[in-house]
Amino acid sequence: MSGMNVLVVGGGGREHALVIGLNESPSVDAIHIAPGNAGTAVLGLNHQVEAGDVDGLVSLSQHLEVDLVIVGPEGPLVDGLADRLREVGISCFGPHSAGAELEGSKLHAKKIMQELNIPTAGIILIENSERIKEALDTFSPPWVVKRDVLAGGKGVVVTESRKEAYEALSYGLESDGFVLLEEFLSGEEASVLVIMDESGYVCLPPSQDHKRVGDGDSGPNTGGMGAYAPAPIATAAVMQRAIDEIIEPMHHYLRNQKIPYRGCLYVGLMIDENRAPNVVEYNVRFGDPETQVTVPLIASDLGQLLLSAAEGRLSEFDVEFHNYSAATIVLASEGYPASSKTGREIFCYDTIIDEGHIQAFVHHAGTGVSEAGSVVSTGGRVLAATGIAPDLNSAVNAAYEIIESIKLDGSHYRSDIAFRAL
């Protein structure tokens, strides 16, 4: 098939990474993005329809007569965007609302994992304040408090302080009517993005995110300050265990539902000292910033790959990968992850490195274009510098060379991305 017309839903770094990949796909002729950012506007046509506007996105898809919709964020999937698109005959890369509950409800995901004997942390459901003290006594610190809501990866409190854990549990209980206390898993994290449908699945190279805002994993959690792939912690043996014990049973479950799962399943792993993988969480979409380091490693036609999954024929598609490493470093606004300063002009954001086997460029996230035509910050995570190279060290160095050249008042970034692997 050629001449595909594609709509990408979302406006962050993940979506820009997907757009770059689609722009390089021979099968794709036109790319639309809703709402997009300053980076996606260079490669496609942005539309002022918000990612949460399900009705607006369905209407836009019909108006544009798109062949494929690729959904970046989880919210519209939980709200039934994929269901609605399929009802009107438009292929969608992203699960239906029932499948999206794996991310929409942590409790739902835990129940399925327990049913399938998938290795994961123990959990206590707290539905009244009298149970809080007993629950805290059950697990040793640090305590992991999770609200059962969509929070963009930030609805979690991990603390050694009993007082802080108690307050987080009380807040979650008051806000939502129940809250979850989870057993702490020690080890090293890795993420595996799995493209799947009822016919099969493909694991993208394992990556590692850096969630804390500061060097050495200090400070509060964020949406992600950088990532790299492949992550050496996810050895061939670890990956085989993850496939056998985690991915395969979940795929078997999802493919046999009334409506099979079609999209990306994000598998967040904790790999313990014995190299045993446990599930931290499942998400139902590409990760951010993991997408920025995995999509560039796909050598096959990205448009065809995602369309084949959206149409339930992934097993017919042979996926190839580049034998390279990738690293991305997020540039954040002043104040992030608390209240971020936005509307500031960004300079030198279009720097690239193209030295044959070493390449580096910028992924836009929270960027927009001012009335004066300049590129300005519009969010907490503004952009990311991404390096691709035959080895991880070269990829990291190239990414830092780019990010050090970018000028944005008050911005900050981590200086130790990929430190566990270097």
| CATH tag for 4-97 (out of 3.60.21.10, 3.40.50.300, 3.30.930.10, 3.40.50.20) | 3.40.50.20
Determine the Cα angle at 39 with ends 346 and 50, to 5°: 105
pLDDT at 148: 86
Residue 152 has pLDDT above 60, yes or no: no
On whether the 123-182 domain is CATH 3.30.1490.20, my answer is yes
Mean pLDDT over 134-150 rounds to: 90
Distance CA 34, CA 260 (A): 26
DSSP per residue over 212-234, as a string?
A: EEETTTEEEE-S-SEEEES-TTS
Bridge partners of 214?
218
| DSSP H or E segment with residue 31 | strand 28-35
- Chain mean pLDDT for the chain: 95
Residue 143 has pLDDT above 70, yes or no: yes
Residue 87 has pLDDT above 90, yes or no: yes
Lowest mean pLDDT among 172-181, 252-261, 363-372: 172-181
Determine the Cα angle at 389 with ends 385 and 394, to 5°: 75
Mean pLDDT over 310-320 rounds to: 97
Q: What is the pLDDT of residues 385-417, one digit of tens each?
A: 999 999 999 999 999 999 999 999 999 999 999
Predicted confidence band of residue 2 (pLDDT cuts 50, 70, 90): low
Predicted confidence band of residue 91 (pLDDT cuts 50, 70, 90): very high
Residue 301 has pLDDT above 90, yes or no: yes
Residues in the chain: 422
pTM of the model: 0.95
Mean pLDDT over 19-24 rounds to: 98
Mean pLDDT over 294-304 rounds to: 98
Mean pLDDT over 212-229 rounds to: 95
Mean pLDDT over 333-351 rounds to: 95
Residue 252 CB: number of other CB atoms within 10 A? 10
DSSP β-ladder status, 277-283 and 179-182: unpaired
Residue 214 has pLDDT above 50, yes or no: yes
Q: Where do the domains of the chain lie?
A: 4-97, 123-182
Residue 196 has pLDDT above 60, yes or no: yes
Mean pLDDT over 323-340 rounds to: 96
Lowest mean pLDDT among 112-116, 127-131, 190-194, 390-394: 127-131
Predicted confidence band of residue 154 (pLDDT cuts 50, 70, 90): low
Share of the chain above pLDDT 90, in %: 94
Distance CA 380, CA 286 (A): 19
Distance CA 72, CA 15 (A): 6
Mean pLDDT over 81-103 rounds to: 97
Q: Is it true that the peptide bond before 230 is cis, omega within 30 degrees of 0?
A: yes
Mean pLDDT over 55-78 rounds to: 97
